[in-house]
Amino acid sequence: MKGGCLHRLLVHKLCFGLVVLLTVPIVVLLLEGAPVLTIFSTTPGQLKVISQGFLQQQEQEHLGDDGATLAGSPGPASMSRSHKNCNYAKGKWIEDDKQPLYSGNECKQWLSKMWACRMMRRAHFSYENYRWQPHGCEMPEFTGPNFLKRMRNRTLAFVGDSLGRQQFQSMMCIATGGKYSPEVEDVGWKYGLVKAPGALRPDGWAYRFPSTNTTILFYWSATLSELEPLNTEDTVTRYALHLDRPVTFLKKYLNYFDVLVLNTGHHWNRGKFNGNHWELHADGKPVGNGSRLADLTRAKNLTLHSIARWMDSELARHPKMKVFLRTISPRHFVNGDWNTGGTCGNTIPLSNGSEVLQDHSIDIPAENAVKGTRVKLLDITAISKLRDEGHISNSSFKKASTGINDCLHWCLPGIPDMWNELLFVQI
């Protein structure tokens, strides 16, 4: 049954018992340390949880007071963080004259101008000449042809925010070697990725490489949550953001994907929620101001756990598919935020060190979310945190004219290329 043990879960354990009656869709979930739940499904896509106070109980038991982590000790390193016993997030940045993997001047077909620092007024590009070397791990040569060969007859999907879009554009540049590639087909229409009337851009892009029948796509979903219009007849539409329901695009097109990379994080603030007219919902109901889930950190944690467990239930039916939750990309604003004069003017690589030695991710909510699931963690946070010189900073003409520094997004070529190399070695 779609969504098996997912939509209302804040637990960090898997279901240990599962009973399905085919004539009446009833599922009994036995959760370690949790009450027995009976879930009735009127349709395959709708779940109703019958449990008095379950959401509140699990929220209190498994979310810490600071909302950032789950209660309890981290425990042993999760298998979701490694592949063949290798922790790719533990290692060192080293100089490499073979970097970058493509030219920022040439990859104009796929690279947005706002991220192409080679086409800006930036003068320092030493950040391009490093690669990540995990401790004690073999790293196969990462090239466009090698990637396409490995992904023959397969589809790679990125679903997330603008940092996910950066990773998508990085992969397109790597796959084509940064060269103009007229043979690559635009297949966005197959996934409903067409520009709506009056829209600035479509909700995503999808491209197919005919030589290997490889498709790479991106879908924009800043929170990975389902958005439901509440008042379509009003001038300004408000949306119910369902914390415990995955974005509709995933439910519709998941069967077409072989590798999926999810990310969310930087839109979980009141400014973004108010600007987009998003209203928190859980269990099909609005989240009240007095609820613990009204705290956006806790709300994000619920979404991470919900999406990981929904994906785990889907992986039971798609055992060959690989799903990754990418950890959050770090910001490097100093002396303020993006709108209060914050900057990131360092141009010297590795000024804050070059090595990551800890066994666990510093993105604790993401690491906890995938525990006990078949979803893998693509851990890039600590690695990227060492590379503050790789941000766009004040290079963008548009941003510079307003006095705003971009210390969130990265120059391309740049740090997101490494994210894709770590993805490549695990698929």
Condensed to tens digits (0 to 9), the pLDDT of residues 122-173 reads 889 999 999 999 999 989 999 999 999 999 999 999 999 999 999 999 999 9
User: Which of residues 8 and 137 earns the better pLDDT score?
Assistant: 137
Position 47 pLDDT exceeds 60: no
- Across residues 226-232, what is the average pLDDT? 93
Buried b / exposed e along 34-68 (16+ C-beta atoms within 10 A): beebebebeeeeebebebeebbeebbeebbeeebe
The pair of structure tokens assigned to 153 is: 């007859």
Position 251 pLDDT exceeds 90: yes
Confidence of residue 401 (pLDDT cuts 50, 70, 90): low
Helix (H) or strand (E) holding 309: helix 296-315
Confidence of residue 9 (pLDDT cuts 50, 70, 90): very low
The pair of structure tokens assigned to 241 is: 């953001």
Confidence of residue 234 (pLDDT cuts 50, 70, 90): confident
The DSSP-derived string for 66-117 is TSSSBSS---SPPGGG-BTTB-TTSEEEEE-TT--SS-TTT-TTTS-GGG-G
Percent of the chain with pLDDT over 90: 70
Write down the pLDDT at residue 45: 42
Say if residues 260 and 159 touch (Cβ distance below 8 Å): yes
d(CA 45, CA 359) in angstroms, rounded, equals: 38
SS3 label, residue 203: coil
